[in-house]
A and B are shown apart, each in its own frame.
Chain A
Amino acid sequence: MMRLQTRKLLDRAFAGVGVFAIVLMALALIAILLPIFQRGAGAYVFRATVEHRRQMLDLFERGDEDVLVKEMQKALEARQPVLEALASYRADQSERLNEAIGAADRLAQRDDLLGRRIARAVEQLRHTADLRQQIDRLSRIEQLMRPQSTPDMTDDLDLIRDITSELEVQAAQYGELTERLRQLLGPLPGDEPRILPRFRYGQARWDRALIKQSQLLYIEEWDYSDASAMGRRVLSPRRDLFADTALYPLFEHIENDLEAMLRPRWTFYGRFLTDHSVDAHFFGGIGPEALGTFYLTLGAMLFAVPLGIIAAIYFAEYAKPGRTVSFLRSCVSTLAGVPSIVFGLFGLAFFIYTIRVSPGKSVLAGSLTLGLLILPTVIRAAEEAILAVPREYKEAALALGAGRWRTVLTVILPAALPGILTGTVISMGRAAGETAPIIFTAAVSVGVALQPTEVFTQATPALSWNIYNLATEHEAVDEIRHVQYGMVTTLVGIVLLLNIAAIWMRARISRKLRG
């Protein structure tokens, strides 16, 4: 009686632990996958600003030019007060500068060598457009004159010194402010055209624009006053630097009217999947990477599946049990346990340096390496599937007079197909996701989408490698996290789809076989 109860209790405990484990696994899966998908979706669906639409038109010739011109006009209208504030601040500054130049002029009114030198310097100054250079030259004049000054010159010299030191501070503050403005809204009127696209546009994404906005509005400083602890981050409003100047209203505009300046709109950027990247992934999509992953996976399958199935048939049907076969089997098992980076180095040493399948890295070399990597899995899955075919099938076929080869081809293989397919598709997911084997054999960080004929000689970007590359090697990765997450989501999505396809295919084929 007691024993039965104990057993029931144990039974329940086991069931409980099992359910708990499954729930835990499901939760972990959700905890890992949900944030990935959520963040990755941001690469496809986001609030795109008018700058994004400008890029699309410039770089990919997409969108309606007339509509965009009208929209841009509205955006520029909204930006007008900002530009006006900048212009009137600059006007105030040149007024101050002119005061100083006037003082220098007065100093030049001496009929001696020094006077003539100053006059020449002032003349040069008038031909300089850049405010910073003008300030530089003025302060040089002041420093030149100071040691030789007579008492009547002191007032003018002091005036020049005061104005130049004041303007110097302002020019530095103004320089930083305009740099932030450029990041937010794109080049300002009068700027030299820039070469790298990342400097030609304002923020294309509203979420990034908000970050840039707060960097413009607030200065990040570190307070080191407590020497025994790490510094504290202090945010102070940038507008305080510009109190009582013409720039003061600019901050209110940026704070309140940014939406009108950038006109964000929810956008679905589906061609993120097929577009090529522009300027090291600052713009555009992940087309070459996705295509590269496709080529590499397909190539690995073309190599590994026929070879794997043939090997499996040999093991299951032809090989006579013995030492050689068990040795070969354990070889296959060992191969399955070899770390993937070893395959990568082997691929480099063997396929590229020794038999030279291609002059350097290529999709072909990468596919062969990946193929080797998944070969054991394919062999194992296929062998299991073949062994699972009921003996009666084989015996019936042989009894009807079919040869061994015919039996395998027409009876055993079709019956084993669901299992073989499942193993194949699962290893396909593995091939798509592996990074280490392709680092040295196929993957590059920048490259174009390849034509099918180019895969024999050329290297390609691939999703798995470029995720790693963006995360660790890109010089401005914090600006383009959405691309990194977009790649991750796409890769996880592809692998997930492949696995679902495997399950579906298996169900379909076994239903067909049964029916």
Chain B
Amino acid sequence: MKIRNTVLALIAAAGISSAPAQDQIVIDGSTTVGPIGKAFAEYFMQHHPGINVVVSESGSGNGARGIVNNSIDIGMMSRFMRETEFKACADNGVMPVAHVVALDGLPILVHPSNPVSDLTVEQVRKIYTGEIRNWRELGGPNMAIVFVSRDTNSGTYETFNNVVMQGETIHGSCEYVGSNGAVRQRVQTTPAAIGYAGLGFVDETVKALRINGVMPSEATVITGDYPVARALYMFTNKYPEMGTPLYRFMTLHLTPEGEEIVKSIGFVPVTQYGF
């Protein structure tokens, strides 16, 4: 009798709590957009104490997959959705809407001890195709280049692939790592390394290169002078209904507070753009 009661109570509890949760916003996706998502989440929870915003960072591909399967509220992506993903969304009755939350350059990083500080897009491409294998060929010391890339699930990889590689394939001896932080870690510990990560991940332990003579910065990203740049997205299923917590969250990047958060993490606020 007692056992049966407990079981019933448990089932009841499960039933109650598995009702669609209005008090939760689930975010997953790009590790580049991650810092923005996390900072927004904490700022949001501070002002809406009843709402739990959970953020995971497992790559843009998983962000898209979450939206396709309708298992998350916001998919962070550092690339746009692919055609196949759009199609999968439509098949599942999901209407993806893109919100651009910030702009980002893709600094090419080397170890600070590396005397090379200026490369062209073509030179970077040749490094990654394996054509240039030694820093000596670029005016540096005699050292074999260790080139690091993001994994192919990442939107950062896709941007790099489109803008820098332009259809050429990355050489097989490239090292693939799973996150922006891991790229920075590899570069800061390896004098001969070269890698790329989002603007927000550059600190004094690594050196960002001039590309085609332009230093990556907020100003050069906005003007389009820095060649390797992209928009950072958050995708939702349809535009969020006005007044819902999701709506309030998805408009945070347009407020002065959101702008400051984006800026102080190191990215370029969208509100800066314009004429």
Contact present for A279 and B42 (CB under 8 Å): yes
Interface of B is mostly: mixed
Which chain B residues lie closer than 8 Å to A5 at the CB level? none
Contact present for A195 and B43 (CB under 8 Å): yes
Given contacts A447-B55, A448-B45, A473-B181, contact A230 B34 (CB under 8 A): no
B38 interface contact, C-beta 8 A: yes
Q: Which of B37, B52, B69, B260 contacts A195 (CB 8 A)?
A: B260
Contact present for B13 and A453 (CB under 8 Å): yes
Q: How distant is the Cα of A359 from the Cα of B41 in the complex, in angstroms?
A: 20
Contact present for A459 and B56 (CB under 8 Å): yes
Contact present for A475 and B35 (CB under 8 Å): yes
Which chain A residues lie closer than 8 Å to B113 at the CB level? 222, 230-233
Minimum CB–CB distance from A246 to chain B (whole Å) comes to 27
Q: Which of B19-27, B78-86, B236-244 contacts A (4 or more CB under 8 A)?
A: B19-27
B119 interface contact, C-beta 8 A: no
Minimum CB–CB distance from A404 to chain B (whole Å) comes to 22
Contact present for B35 and A220 (CB under 8 Å): no
B130 interface contact, C-beta 8 A: no
Given contacts A352-B71, A360-B72, A472-B181, contact A446 B257 (CB under 8 A): no
B179 interface contact, C-beta 8 A: yes
Identify which of residues 143-188 in chain B touch chain A, using a CB-to-CB cut-off of 8 Å: 143, 178-182, 185
Contact with B along A266-282 (1 / 0, CB 8 A): 00000000000011100
Contact present for A475 and B71 (CB under 8 Å): no
Which chain B residues lie closer than 8 Å to A279 at the CB level? 39, 42
Interface of A is mostly: loop
Q: How distant is the Cα of A361 from the Cα of B24 in the complex, in angstroms?
A: 12
Q: How distant is the Cα of A446 from the Cα of B57 in the complex, in angstroms?
A: 10
Contact present for A353 and B54 (CB under 8 Å): no
A478 interface contact, C-beta 8 A: yes
Q: How distant is the Cα of A478 from the Cα of B181 in the complex, in angstroms?
A: 10
Minimum CB–CB distance from A407 to chain B (whole Å) comes to 22
Given contacts A196-B261, A228-B141, contact A458 B179 (CB under 8 A): no
Identify which of residues 189-227 in chain A touch chain B, using a CB-to-CB cut-off of 8 Å: 194-196, 199, 220, 222, 224, 227
Contact present for A444 and B182 (CB under 8 Å): no
Minimum CB–CB distance from A217 to chain B (whole Å) comes to 15
B66 interface contact, C-beta 8 A: yes
Q: How distant is the Cα of A227 from the Cα of B115 in the complex, in angstroms?
A: 7
Identify which of residues 444-469 in chain A touch chain B, using a CB-to-CB cut-off of 8 Å: 444-448, 450, 453-454, 456-460, 469
Minimum CB–CB distance from B191 to chain A (whole Å) comes to 5
Given contacts A458-B21, A459-B54, contact A445 B34 (CB under 8 A): yes
Given contacts A444-B56, A448-B52, contact A473 B179 (CB under 8 A): yes
Identify which of residues 84-133 in chain B touch chain A, using a CB-to-CB cut-off of 8 Å: 111-115
Contact present for A440 and B58 (CB under 8 Å): yes
Which chain B residues lie closer than 8 Å to A230 at the CB level? 111, 113-115, 141, 143, 191
Which chain B residues lie closer than 8 Å to A232 at the CB level? 113
B266 interface contact, C-beta 8 A: yes
Minimum CB–CB distance from B94 to chain A (whole Å) comes to 14
Which chain B residues lie closer than 8 Å to A352 at the CB level? 71
Interchain residue pairs with CB less than 8 A apart (28): A195-B260, A196-B264, A220-B204, A222-B112, A228-B142, A229-B141, A230-B114, A279-B42, A353-B69, A353-B71, A361-B54, A445-B56, A446-B42, A446-B54, A448-B45, A453-B17, A454-B17, A456-B13, A456-B14, A458-B21, A458-B52, A459-B26, A459-B56, A472-B182, A472-B185, A474-B181, A475-B181, A475-B265
Residues of A within 8 A of B (CB): 194-196, 199, 220, 222, 224, 227-233, 278-280, 352-353, 358-361, 439-440, 443-448, 450, 453-454, 456-460, 469, 471-478
Q: A446-B38, A450-B52, A474-B35 are in contact. List 18 more A-B contacts (CB 8 A).
A: A195-B260, A196-B39, A196-B260, A231-B114, A279-B39, A358-B18, A359-B21, A361-B56, A361-B71, A440-B58, A446-B55, A447-B54, A448-B52, A458-B52, A472-B179, A473-B182, A477-B181, A478-B205
